Amino acid sequence: MKNSSTLQLDKWQSFYNKEIKIIKRTKKELKRIKETKEELKRIKKALKKELKAVWYNNKMYTISGGYYKNGNAGLLHRNIYRDYIGEIPKGYIIHHINCNKLDNNLSNLQCMTNSQHMKLHRHIEILVRWYLALQLFK
């Protein structure tokens, strides 16, 4: 026969066990919610990336470093140039004439040597600075 204090203790023990179970279940639920949220975030990120992507020859190109790029196929503007105009000689680069690196229309692509390209961009930079400076006097 248990005395009253033992009974009280048993009651508390069972109450405590129930509470622990609820807390554990809640923790599990919270973890699940957190994982679901993270999964949704991942999906959203992937979708966002895919929305900005373009397809060329059954390959998806996403924006990377300002250019459309595919992990295996490489840079889109180079592939387009190669497919429609021809092989790009070694040491040559494909310049975007209107400076929009995402505009890969054939008419916007120009093949030139690396040093010609650097010179051209220096020139463009100076022109942009002049343009911005002139805006100050308007």
**Stretch binding Zn ion (CB under 5 A), from 34-42, 91-99, 105-113, 128-136:** 91-99
What are the φ/ψ torsions at residue 83 (nearest 5 degrees)? -70, -35
Partnered with residue 62 across adjacent β-strands are 69
Which window, 2-10, 40-48, 88-96, 108-116, contacts Zn ion (CB under 5 A)? 88-96
* Nearest-approach distance from CB 43 to Zn ion, in angstroms: 35
Cβ-Cβ contacts under 8 Å for 113 (sequence gap 6 or more): 91, 92, 93
95 binds Zn ion (CB under 5 A): yes
10-18, 21-29, 42-50, 89-97 -> range binding Zn ion (CB under 5 A): 89-97
Please state the closest distance from residue 96 (CB atom) to Zn ion, in A: 6
Give me the residue label for tokens 């508390």.
12
Q: Which residues contact 109 (CB under 8 A, 6 or more apart)?
A: 77, 80, 81, 85, 94, 95, 96, 97
Residue (78 or 95) nearer to Zn ion, CB: 95
Binding site for Zn ion (CB under 5 A): 95
